[in-house]
Chain A
Amino acid sequence: MNTTAPASLTESVTPIAAGAHVLAAAFPAHQAMLALADGTVLLVEKNHRLQPHGAKGILVAASDAHGLITGGDDGCVMRVSADGVIDAVATNQSGWIDAIAAGAGGSLAWSTGKKVSVRDGKGQVKNWTAPSTPQGLAFMPKGYRLAISHYNGASLWFPNLNSAPEVLAWKGSHLAITASPDGRFVVTSMQDNMLHGWRLPDAKDMRMSGYPSKTKSFSWSNDGLWLATSGADAAIIWPFKDKDGPMGKAPRECGVRHSKVSQVAFHPKAMILAIGYEDSCILLCRLTDGAELLVRHAVKDEGRISALAWDNTGKRLLFGTEEGAAGLLTLP
């Protein structure tokens, strides 16, 4: 831990009164957007509030180049474009929308109960029933293929093939899921406070343990060789450069503090990691030399950082907390 306080960027942060649990932050078409659990999508620069689910709440949200995609407790999946146009993607699903993901070319995936649905850019929908309720969805970087985490493993599904999904088996409850940008690895977080990974295509297992709590946030570095994770008192960053990935290697740690990391977001152009903590503090950490910059002081009762995202130029960082605080950092 550094003995001197990190240099500060706090003067460059514009506060945003979000007012409800912030689920997701993104910059589609360069517009700062937040999804809130009370059902609001907030267009930050215009201070324009939209309610794509009427009076109902949003449970999960994802983003692509055009807008935010929200899944609600009304069983609806909605798309809100960066200019505020609302479109229904799916309505009258049987229950809560539990997980959501956005892929290339306008493709979307969502799940409700055991049913997983994907919709390609042309609007064609395919469905698959998972062996247990999926907890996480992620599009693979290549091809039209979806990774789905569930109890006792993960499944890799080609929606346009009539074959059964490939099963990556590992005992236990798998939560969030992510694929490496080169498509060589799939990693899940687990109920048992560890990560599990598979090397593709031989499905060789890797275990990454030692976390004091569940990992909820993943972020890949811009070169795709490092995976930053939340869940410990520092950001834990695993190397994926070699063909065996992080096997037999120690992870790097940065931003050690007396609070757990709740969100991580790699800068899109440099080896700089934005780290959000459970006490609502945010740091930037440069991996090359460990230098730290303070973005936000911990503020009592403002809740853990629950959303954190860079714009694609790397000049702006948008964040929000579980208690409805939010802000926009513009780098000087």
Chain B
Amino acid sequence: MSDKIPVTVLTGYLGAGKTTLLNRILTEPHGMKFAVIVNEFGEVGIDNDLVVGADEEVFEMNNGCICCTVRGDLIRIIEGLMKRKGTFDAIIVETTGLADPAPVAQTFFVDEEVSALARLDAVVTVVDAKWLSDRLKDAPEAKNQIAFADVIILNKTDLVSESELATVEAQIRAINAYATLHRTTRSAVPLEAVLGRNAFDLDRILEIEPEFLEDIHHHHSDDIQSVAITVPNDLDPDTFMPWITEFTQKEGATILRCKGILSFKDEPKRFVFQGVHMLLDGDLQSDWKPGEKRQSKMVFIGRGLNRAAIEKAVEACRAA
């Protein structure tokens, strides 16, 4: 696991400050060598030795999973880069402002060779504090990018007032309740805020603390939103596992991401799962600590999710 090359995906709507963040990462005195895969080749100079131009080719798989798309260009480029292992320590993929992050993330789950060589570290989304509200109205990509994020860089905060900032944050939280959020100007964040996140590593899903869950009012349209559920009791794996498998298979097109830490009856270890669309990954992790409150928490981020139905289904999985 540890010798896999970490891959950070940078997304964000046009002009949000992605390239500024990228150049900031590259020029910090970290001693790391990056391979950078960019799409808007030549638009703004990238300050790095190893820059590869990509063509964002989204391919459907013939495996019967309709939402299961991969980035063909990434598979080719990562395989090419891996022939020269040792010349770089990490990969950064910058997507275009209009890109859906799902095919990028799914590439690391679906392609056997890519997943043997590289691991998705985190999806980092840069958003423009001043223009986000407008983009959320007119650009579905902007919503997708927030929904998919593990880390959100709320940039250009100097251009808005504190109350405007609070409104934008609430809008972000309504879409994605669990991403780590950093307020910045000129994309200035410490490197450790965006690199080495292990966001897709089941070992690192230690806690889920969704914020703003009670305050937000939910739009019941096809809007993207977070549904967070906490069950204070143990769950029965014999009912929960078939349900989550079927739910993600059936609703995979509308569920963008999900994560959970579960307490199964008579199981001393926590069960941790995470998913991207229909792709689900789960395992038993560390023991519940003595005196720790055993409960099950999960977050689903998706489009038009039926909160009441999910709550009811999870409720039905309570252990007797």
Contact = CB atoms under 8 A, between A and B. Distances in A.
Interface residues of B, number: 22
Contacts of B140: none
A21 B84 CA distance: 8
Contact of B70 (A73, A94, A190, A191): A191
Contacts of B77: 96
B212 interface: no
A192 interface: yes
Interface stretch (B18-26, B59-67, B240-248, B260-268): B59-67
Interface stretch (B50-58, B149-157, B160-168): B50-58
B238 interface: no
A95 B55 CA distance: 11
Contacts of A96: 52, 77, 80
Interface in A131-161: 132-133, 135, 151
Nearest to A73: B80
B55 A151 contact: no
Contacts of A172: 59-62
Interface in A63-90: 73
Interface in A21-43: 21, 23, 37-38
A196 to B, nearest CB: 10
Contacts of B83: 21, 23, 37, 57, 59, 322
A59 B80 contact: yes
Which of B80, B83, B113 neighbours the largest number of chain A CB atoms within 10 Å of its CB?
B83
Nearest to A306: B83
A171 interface: yes
A173 B59 contact: yes
B222 interface: no
B211 interface: no
Interface in B228-255: none
A113 interface: yes
Given A38-B84, A191-B59, A192-B63, A214 B112 contact: yes
Chain B interface SS verdict (over half): mixed
Nearest to B59: A173
Interface string B66-102: 0000101101110010011100000000000000000
Interface in A196-251: 213-214
Contacts of A191: 59, 61, 70, 72, 75, 111
Contact of A113 (B55, B61, B111): B55
A98 interface: yes
Contacts of A98: 76
A133 B84 contact: no
A184 interface: no
A23 B85 CA distance: 14
A286 interface: no
Nearest to B70: A191
A59 B52 CA distance: 13
A133 B59 contact: no
Contacts of A49: none
10 contacts: A23-B83, A95-B52, A132-B72, A133-B55, A151-B72, A172-B61, A173-B59, A191-B72, A192-B61, A192-B62
Given A135-B72, A173-B72, 16 more contacts: A21-B83, A21-B84, A73-B80, A95-B52, A96-B52, A96-B77, A98-B76, A113-B55, A133-B76, A171-B62, A172-B60, A172-B61, A173-B59, A191-B61, A191-B75, A192-B63
